[in-house]
Amino acid sequence: MKIIMLGAPGAGKGTQAKLIAEKYGLPHVSTGDIFRANVKEGTQLGLEAKKYMDQGLLVPDELTVRILLDRVSRPDCSAGYVLDGFPRTIPQAQVLEKALAELGDQIDFAIDVDVPDENIVRRMGGRRACVTCGATYHMEHVPPRTEGICDTCGGELILREDDKPDTVKNRLKVYHEQTQPLIDFYQKKGVLRVVDGTMDMKDVFEAIVAILG
């Protein structure tokens, strides 16, 4: 079972990807993790990617897919995998589709965790992070015992730059321009499934399990 997770930043797709991987015994394949691992291990693919990363450039789609295919061709992915963070654009999806087709393979499900923008801005704006130990809280869902103070170490809790409303709105703008077209792409392929991401995390997961069977 080969699954792609779709959804805006802050929609919770990464959390759901981990839960799916755990339940079905599939590797959770995050492109960010793969890049870091290849660079750290000094693989040929990692060295190629590092040339672009060191210059602050995006790694070309073809190289990204080669690194991804190298990962999913390993024995632990023989029964499938959950892709998190790739593809992000139509060209990436097309390169991935072509590469998988050459292996006689294809994506089984593209799951879109759908959350309205205003919910995401509110959800991310409620996050707080400890400057000392990195523990995270949410003012509405997981508040600290004392406002502004970390339960674990007593450090100061802050709203990270990434979670500020203006930053979140910019990230959502980029998402709608670049990544949302993937929803139409996979809908045409007949593999798209949409779940309501505004529900409780457990309910979202149950909806996904009902889809996957």
Q: Which of 23, 98, 160, 189 is catalytic?
A: 160
Is 122 noted as a catalytic residue in this protein? no
- Asked if 92 and 64 touch (Cβ cutoff 8 Å), the reply is yes
Q: Which of 2, 13, 123, 128 is catalytic?
A: 13
> In angstroms, rounded to a whole number, what is the distance separating the alpha carbons of residues 24 and 82?
10
- Asked if 37 and 114 touch (Cβ cutoff 8 Å), the reply is no
Is 127 noted as a catalytic residue in this protein? yes
Is 123 noted as a catalytic residue in this protein? no
Q: Which of 66, 71, 88, 128 is catalytic?
A: 88
Q: Which of 2, 123, 127, 128 is catalytic?
A: 127
Is 145 noted as a catalytic residue in this protein? no
Is 169 noted as a catalytic residue in this protein? no
Active site residues: 13, 88, 127, 160, 171
